[in-house]
Amino acid sequence: MPKYLEGKRIFLRTLQKSDLPELIELMDDRDTLVLTGSVFPNTEKEMEDFYERCQRTDSRVWFVIVDKEENRIIGETGFLRIFMHWRATDFTLEIWDKRYWGKGYGKEVAALMFDYGFDYLNFHRMAIGVVEKNDRAIKFWKSIGFKEEGRQIDGFFSEGEYSDFVMMYLLEKEYREKKEALN
């Protein structure tokens, strides 16, 4: 399958229907799903619906993250809720395979997506939302330049407790100032 964006250790390509079983298996970890704000397991039907949404590029662009050496999917990334007239989008990046956590794969993916989003698609702003209790993710997003801009107080409920949903952003000029550090 064609590589759309390529880094040193990973490449990004569009989601294929044949990827769904592998993604379902990767995403079938309740502890990881909770960190991303999910509360229900991913069913085959939901994944098929997700696949169909990913085939339309009017408001989203979606990729699977593939380890070049092993040629296996390790996560997913994309832009959703794209507003071209505002030059803004929401960004997501999820490394589902825990063996790849804390090894710089997320930063490599982010660098590719920032180049694509800011330099090719001409975005001015990217935004994300992070469950507050996901300390690892908040530290990651801050390390690549995202800044907190607000909170949805008690916006997420899981395992008997509420957590804030932390809203973060990155502007094009801030990305350009940090670009060398990311690559």
User: Alpha-carbon distance 154 to 170, whole Å?
Assistant: 23
Mean pLDDT of the chain: 86
Q: What is the edge-to-edge ordering of all strands in the sheet holding 125-131?
A: 5-6, 10-14, 60-67, 72-83, 88-95, 125-131, 161-171, 147-158
Q: What is the pLDDT of residues 133-181, one digit of tens each?
A: 889 999 999 999 999 999 999 988 877 889 999 999 999 999 998 876 6
Output the CA torsion 37→72→118→51 (10° steps): -60
Cβ neighbours for 117, distance < 8 A, ≥ 6 positions apart: 79, 89, 91, 123, 126
Judging by beta carbons within 10 Å of its beta carbon (0-12, 13-18, 19+), is residue 18 exposed, middle or buried?
exposed
User: Alpha-carbon distance 60 to 9, whole Å?
Assistant: 25
Q: What is the largest CA-CA distance in the chain?
A: 44
Q: What is the pLDDT of residues 44-85, one digit of tens each?
A: 777 777 777 767 777 889 899 999 999 999 999 999 999 999
Output the CA torsion 148→150→152→153 (10° steps): 100
User: In the predicted model, is pLDDT for residue 27 greater than 90?
Assistant: no
pLDDT of the residue at 83: 92
- Residue 165 belongs to a domain with what CATH number? 3.40.630.30
- Beta-bridged to residue 91, according to DSSP, are 79
Query: What percent of the chain clears pLDDT 70, i.e. is strictly above it?
Result: 87
The b-or-e profile of 62-98 (16+ CB within 10 A means b, else e) is bbbbbbeeeeebbbbbbbeebeeeeebbbbbbbbbbe
* DSSP code at position 164: E
Cβ neighbours for 85, distance < 8 A, ≥ 6 positions apart: none
Q: What is the pLDDT of residues 74-125, one digit of tens each?
A: 999 999 999 999 999 999 999 988 899 899 999 999 999 999 999 999 999 9
Range of the domain at 15: 5-182
Rounded to 5°, the CA angle 140-2-41 comes to 50
Neighbours of 115 (CB within 10 A): 16
Tally of domains within the chain: 1
